[in-house]
Structure 1
Amino acid sequence: MNEEDLKRAFQDVVVASSPPPSMDPGNALARAHKARSKRRASVTGAVVAVLVVGVGLGSAFALNPQGAKEYMTGAGPSSSSSGVPETQWGETWPVGQTDRTATSGPQADRGTQLLELAKASVPAGYDTPDLQYKDPGFRGGMLRGQAQVSSDKGETPEVWEYTAYVPVRKGDKVGRLTVRVSTPNPEDPADPCAILKRPAGGSGSCKTYEVAGKQVATLASMSGPGQPASTWASYRAANGWTVTVGQEEEYAHSDYPKLDAQPFFTPQLAELAADPKFLLGS
């Protein structure tokens, strides 16, 4: 029963409850019995329809509160093409934030999720301890994940970047694995090599690997003053998300001895960058 049928059912109830015109008592009695039966059927049908709709919406609300709300208000179901949780903004920053970094809520949870995925990705023979910086100029743990908004309030699309920094240890020597994931950003170049040359400082020659039909760019950067040797791999997914993975023999400013070699061979690093787990459910 649709809205129009329900409306007619209630109208029948109202009309049937109005005083009937004067008529033959016998006919009136017969018509009264007939009208009462018909009225009961109409009212029962209308009530059942209302209950069915109510139960359906109740179940829908339990499973998808936003979707049920949109159905009742006549709005179509909303979807985020980037797969990013909806953000509520305050005066300048998202609610609960004092700068670009989220410290709680669904965005911060994604940063934590990425950190756990990165930790689980290191090769056998290495571990990922929560080390502390030895350099007195740095405080806190070296194992950390974060989420920060790159776009400003009112900009479309909203762009979030999630980063995981993982100390990779073998024996007493420590390097670093960095995983950076970005939601679709219209300012990012389509060429993953161009994306790579920003964090890698533009040095080295970019090489492309094909991983399960996906094109992954890689770039090696030689060590220099204050800059450990590193290798980077970047993959741009069809939905616009980008994943950039970097490895370094040394964890900068940690004052731990550096690794004898980087943990991954370059083709393996490219495979890691193309792993769909880093798209964070997009």
Structure 2
Amino acid sequence: MDENELRDAMRATITQHSEPPPMESRTALVTARRAARRRNIMACAGTAVVVLGVTLAALPGQGNPGGGTGWAPAAAPSAPSAPVEPFPTVYPSGAVPSGEPFPTAFPSGQVPSGENTKPSWPAEASGDATADSGVHYQKGVALLEKLIEVAPAGYTVPTGNSPDDIPFRYHQAAIEGDHWSYLVSVPLVKDGGTGRIIVEVHEPNNDQPADPCELAQSFWGIGGSCEKRAVRPGEEAGIVAGPSTRDGVDQWVAFQHPDDTVVFVAQGLSTGGEGVRPLKSLPFTVDQLVEFAAGDGFK
């Protein structure tokens, strides 16, 4: 097939098929933002916390909840990036033949405009879905402080940043469709082992499942075997006990409050990072996780 035949075939394909639907970019960005926040937790947990888990227990004054050294190790040198491969073109020479318009996916040659193709974010989010100021940002900070306060006696909550400059005490507020969500996480260090506790909160008008077990199994897409536990008359929590196969999360509870607020509380024996020495036992009981999720402290 020569270039003329190839061009004719492409034009026939375009004209004989209907225009594809506009991309749901807001949904895609929300999903990507969730994944990025969780990768950030993995990154900070799986690097310098390995060192912290070994050293903090031996340092004086580190036996009380909320303690820490404020020390952050130096960043390792970055690996050389792979060579960038050129994007293939439909013409062998890489150039469009003179006088011929380049074929497009839409008959008009224009990408459809509309609300779904260009999402707008609140002013406090500075142009993206993550708040860096304002009332929602401050709520994320407050949730983190509450999480640090519930650290059990004998566990240390380290301060400082990972080599990727991600805080060990992590918090974030983000807009997800029509509601705000909050994610907070801290490592818990004891006897040279490092685990963690995570809280994720979704404000009302969220898209989370109503069934307690479906809700629990939706957490980070991990799934798992679930059981329901009565909390109050007509209210149940979903409980999933691992160990999970990814993300360093071994046990978590999900609860939907009467006002539609959803709270996930998760804990792990390790941080999910390679080479991390795990805790000998989980920091909290299931009853405590249920209490955290169904109470007003993280709501």
Q: Specify the TM-score bucket, using the shorter chain as the normaliser.
A: 0.5 to 0.7
> Partner of 1:92 in structure 2?
120
Alignment counterpart, residue 292 of structure 2, candidates 272, 275, 279: 272
Question: Any idea what the Cα deviations from partners look like across 1:118-148, whole Å, max 9, x if unmatched?
Answer: 1111222212222533xx5x43222111100
Deviates more, 1:264-273 or 1:200-209: 200-209
Return 5+ residue gaps in structure 2 as ranges: 1-118
Task: Note if contact 2:229-2:237 (Cα within 8 Å) is conserved in structure 1.
Answer: yes
Alignment counterpart, residue 141 of structure 2, candidates 88, 93, 112: 112
Tell me which amino acid in the other structure corresponds to 2:172: Q
> Partner of 2:156 in structure 1?
127
Query: Could you state the TM-score of these two structures normalised by the residue count of structure 2?
Result: 0.55
Structure with bigger gyration radius: 1
Alignment counterpart, residue 101 of structure 1, candidates 121, 130, 139: 130
> Partner of 1:192 in structure 2?
212
Higher RCO (Cα < 8 Å, 6 or more apart): 2
> Partner of 2:225 in structure 1?
205
> Partner of 2:262 in structure 1?
242
Shift of 1:197: 1.0
Shift of 1:253: 3.1
Task: Note if contact 2:169-2:186 (Cα within 8 Å) is conserved in structure 1.
Answer: yes
Shift of 1:222: 1.9
Assess, with a 3 A threshold, how the Cα gap between structure 1 residues 167 and 131 changes in structure 2: closer, same or farther. Answer: farther
Shift of 1:236: 0.6
> Partner of 2:56 in structure 1?
none
Question: Any idea what the Cα deviations from partners look like across 1:204-235, whole Å, max 9, x if unmatched?
Answer: 321122234442111012243x5435101011
Query: 1:143 aligned to 2:169?
Result: yes
> Partner of 1:230 in structure 2?
250
Assess, with a 3 A threshold, how the Cα gap between structure 1 residues 128 and 188 changes in structure 2: closer, same or farther. Answer: same
What secondary structure sits across from 1:278 in the alignment? coil
Tell me which amino acid in the other structure corresponds to 1:215: E
% identical equivalent positions: 31
Compare the two structures and name the one with the higher helix fraction.
Answer: 1
Deviates more, 1:161-170 or 1:121-130: 121-130
Count residues in correspondence. Answer: 180
Task: Note if contact 2:179-2:206 (Cα within 8 Å) is conserved in structure 1.
Answer: no
Query: Could you state the TM-score of these two structures normalised by the residue count of structure 1?
Result: 0.58
Q: Let me know the Cα RMSD of the aligned residues.
A: 2.3
Shift of 1:202: 4.5
Cα distance in 1, alignment partners of residues 277 and 129 from structure 2: 33
Return 5+ residue gaps in structure 1 as ranges: 1-90, 152-157
